[in-house]
Amino acid sequence: MSNTFSAIINPEELVKLQESSEIILIDARAGINAEENYQKEHLKGARYVDLNKDLATVETNPANGGRHPLPSFEKFSEVLSKLGIQPSAHVIIYDDKNGSNAGARFWWMLRSIGHEKVQVVNGGLQAAIKAGFTVSSEIETFEPAEKYPVSEWKLALADIEAVEKARNNNENIVIDVRDKNRFDGLTEPLDLIAGHIPGAVNVPFSENLDENGFYHSAETLHQKYSRILGDVKPENTIVHCGSGVTACHTLLAMDYAGIPIPKLYIGSWSEWSRNDRPMATIKNN
């Protein structure tokens, strides 16, 4: 699904828009005390979206869809209406981890229902503040929107069976965007078992960023991912992480680079590792 609207907006561009009534600014930081930190200080006018409550339907057993499965269409429609987002809205998203928290996840979800005017702030919260965007601790008030029509995910998804078929097929590639130590099975801070899906290649999402925490140029990212994919078509590419959140950082990077958005495996390692599937570490790969 193509889009001429850039996935990335630089903080200097955002500052020029801060008085505009045409944008809806979303704070998508996640983790411990995320909402509390938002309330203490956020970009003025930003509306808060919660990863666990709004962008996922968290199940008691991650073996069924992972730690952050997608919400129902009805639930996501309600979230968008609550945030005041209509199909024509220009949505700009930031988090405090350069898009690797819920920023890119929300971007992917909006793009996947056909919303075109959505961008993620390059460098995130701190970069926007440094560029001069006004911060606030006030409670933001805004009107909810009419029901947003949500009926399907238009961007491609892969389930656990599709990953099983793809992982040893030369016409496919499975990309794991977690950091190398997690991929190698040396550490696992979130899931029960350390390791990776046999046959997957490790391309940490952090490599999408330069030393200052900004996305590499579109040209640099295009060269990088074209080299990684080789002759494999984007539609035969599956990207995953721990729970389907940071994988979206790489999907965003590829879209920014002008590469068609590959398939997302939402369940990711959190689902795979709980379903008696083959698992590997650097020692037994």
Is there a single domain that holds both residue 129 and residue 16?
Answer: yes
- 211: CATH: 3.40.250.10
Whether 209 maps to a domain, the answer reads yes
pLDDT given for residue 4 in this prediction: 72
Beta carbons within 8 Å of 230's beta carbon, 6+ residues apart: none
Query: Could you give the residue numbers annotated as active site?
Result: 241
Total domains in the chain come to 2
Is there a single domain that holds both residue 130 and residue 164?
Answer: no
Whether 191 maps to a domain, the answer reads yes
Is there a single domain that holds both residue 123 and residue 166?
Answer: no
Is there a single domain that holds both residue 24 and residue 123?
Answer: yes
Is there a single domain that holds both residue 21 and residue 130?
Answer: yes
CA nearest 255: which of 151, 115, 111?
A: 111
Is there a single domain that holds both residue 127 and residue 26?
Answer: yes
pLDDT given for residue 281 in this prediction: 86
pTM equals 0.96
| Residue 219: domain span | 160-272
Per-residue pLDDT 10s for the chain (285 aa) are 556 789 999 999 999 999 898 999 999 999 999 999 999 999 999 999 999 999 999 877 999 999 999 999 999 999 999 999 999 999 999 999 987 889 999 999 999 999 999 999 999 999 999 999 999 999 999 999 999 999 999 999 999 999 999 999 999 999 999 999 999 999 999 999 999 999 999 999 999 999 999 999 999 999 999 999 999 999 999 999 999 999 999 999 999 999 999 999 999 999 999 999 999 987 655
CB 89 within 8 A of CB 26: no
